[in-house]
Amino acid sequence: MGILNVTPDSFADGGRYSNLNEALHRAEQMVSEGVDIIDIGGESTRPGSKKVDAGTEINRTAPIVHAIATRFDVPVSIDTTKSIVAKANIHAGAEIINDIAGLRFDEEIADVAVSSGAGLVLMHSRGEFETMHTQPPVEDIFADVETDFRRAIKLATDHGIEKERIVLDVGIGFGKNVDQNLQLIAELSRLIDAFPGFPILVGASRKTFIGKLLDLPDPRDRLSGSVAAAAIAAWNGASILRVHDVRETVEAVRMIDAIKRSAG
């Protein structure tokens, strides 16, 4: 899943792709590099980010979603916590809704997924929009993630979405300390075993914990750490990797597949 932020303030690439032509160029590049899904977001969720109204978010995303969906044979995901934004972008051509709040902010997102047949990504996070990154870490991160996943799955299925259309995102970087982010990647099999049949998504790309571990304050310098985290997540069973650096991650995963096949 390649990240295409069309915001002016995203932490790793803010402002780079808010222009339609620039967004299309980046989408074309990601397709050539082997991307399987393009995830488009119009509201930054970096630490310290400010909420934007639904109209602004739609104006940022829907024209780009439509342009990409009509030009490339790759499914488009809309990264939003608002049902009205999800609905507008599904109408524009998106096939997946990526909700970082796991239906906590707006459970009607599930209704949009049901009525449209879209896939639904439910991410673990805690707190309100403004406090998701400043929540004190819980004592047992796996217990908290599992409890929240069960809540989100029940809410989604109560609204009528089939389990086969749900993906679970562990929420790297959201309300977790460095050690907890590492634990989630290292012991990802615990969540895979706890939720059989649900694809697990890991999005560690350029996140703050990598910067802290490697002393790299600029997110653009975190390529090696991001690929390493993605590779280990893939080795441990992640079904989807949400990344900024598509070519490098695709090459790493192809090597992992080859090594696993050689080992039977």
Each residue's pLDDT tens digit, 217-249: 999 999 999 999 999 999 999 999 999 999 999
CA 211 to the chain's CA centroid: 19
What H or E segment, with its residue span, contains residue 11?
Answer: none
Going from N- to C-terminal start, the domains of the chain cover 2-262
State pLDDT tens for residues 152-180. Answer: 999 999 999 999 999 999 999 999 999 99
Could you give the count of Cα atoms lying within 13 Å of 218 in the half-sphere of its Cβ? 2
Which CATH number does 2-262 carry? 3.20.20.20
Highest mean pLDDT among 23-37, 46-60, 118-132: 23-37
Told to judge if 82 belongs to the known catalytic residues of this protein, a careful annotator would answer: no
pTM equals 0.93
Q: How far is CA 148 from CA 23, 137, 151, 152, in A?
A: 34, 15, 5, 6
pLDDT band at 207 (very low <50, low <70, confident <90, very high): very high
Are 233 and 225 within 8 A, CB to CB? no
Told to judge if 242 belongs to the known catalytic residues of this protein, a careful annotator would answer: yes
Residue 206 has pLDDT above 60, yes or no: yes
Catalytic-role residue among 207, 212, 254, 261: 207
Q: What is the model's pLDDT at position 72?
A: 97
Catalytic-role residue among 242, 254, 260, 261: 242
Count of C-beta atoms within a 10 Å radius of residue 152: 24
